[in-house]
Amino acid sequence: MQNFETFLLENLPHSVSIHPTYEKALQAMLIAGGKRFRPALLLGVVSAYNSLMLESARHAAYAIELLHTYSLIHDDLPAMDDSPLRRGKPTLHVLYDEVTAILVGDALNTYAFEVLSKAPFSDATRVELIRELASNGGLNGMVLGQAIDCYFENKPLKLDEIKILHTNKTAKLIAASLKMGALIIGNEVLGEKLYDFGIKLGLLFQIQDDILDVTQTSSEAGKLTNNDENKNSFVTILGLEEAMREANLLADALLNELHSFDENLQSELSPLLTQYINRHK
């Protein structure tokens, strides 16, 4: 992901403002690191089929990272998870103040679509990418999941309801990242297949996060852990042992499906996915 990191640094948002900290706050969470998992998925799909489009695809990968980063900033706010740590750094409402954190999140959210609107694709492809990111990151996707998560805090859900919650909050943006890669290369059929795979991958990702929340320290995770006692996490509902069993079953199914992909796609995605599919073990 080194090339993507360079691209990100070269394309950080800049503003002309009399505000003393606005620009620093805009950039703080983006340069704090992170897994860059979603951009890597998109770029992996593009690289598998048309490496000549990689440079153009970085614009879409950057847009996904912008939207994801906004969601983390808002997720950490006092009104939501009230977390002091993210990516090993103080969260924005701690580093600056709550108003700054809210507005930076708003700015990165909208900037994601500005970036996509200027991406070097055909008009039709740009519209498809914008629609995909908005649909999965917005009112019928990530935002809906966050709303469900916050509303049902201290109100235990059933397992199938927790899956609905996290399909929206976590899985849809991961699925969209894979599908957007397929849309860039012009393969809608592959896009639908990868979207379904991504939903399952996103649910595994969330189960793993819930497991790591109770098995890692805050310094190991780079964010506050043991903070989900009142949340509808897979561990709080199922218990750690059963959550591990669910994760193992889903991981095995995903690895089998990954091995069914064509050779080029396997070659690009396997190093990344094998690492993350097994990260709870």
Distances (CA, A) of 179 to 31, 35, 36: 26, 19, 16
Terminal-to-terminal C-alpha distance of the chain: 24
pLDDT tops 90 at residue 278:
no
pLDDT tops 90 at residue 15:
no
**Where is mean pLDDT largest: 140-144, 222-226, 228-232?**
140-144
Residue 190 dihedral angles phi and psi, to the nearest 5°: -60, -40
Q: Is 116 helix (H, G, I), strand (E, B) or coil?
A: helix
Kindly report, residue by residue over 253-268, the tens digit of the pLDDT. Answer: 999 999 999 999 999 9
- Domain 2-277 belongs to what topology? Farnesyl Diphosphate Synthase (1.10.600)
Look at residues 63, 61, 83 and name the one whose alpha carbon lies nearest to residue 74: 83
> When comparing pLDDT for 231 and 222, which is higher?
231
pTM for the predicted model, two decimal places: 0.94
Q: Give the residue ranges of DSSP H helices in 226-262.
A: 234-238, 240-258
pLDDT tops 90 at residue 87:
no
> When comparing pLDDT for 116 and 221, which is higher?
116
Domains of the chain, residue spans: 2-277
Q: Lowest-confidence range among 112-121, 161-170, 222-231?
A: 222-231
Q: Which residues pair with 85 in a beta bridge?
A: 90
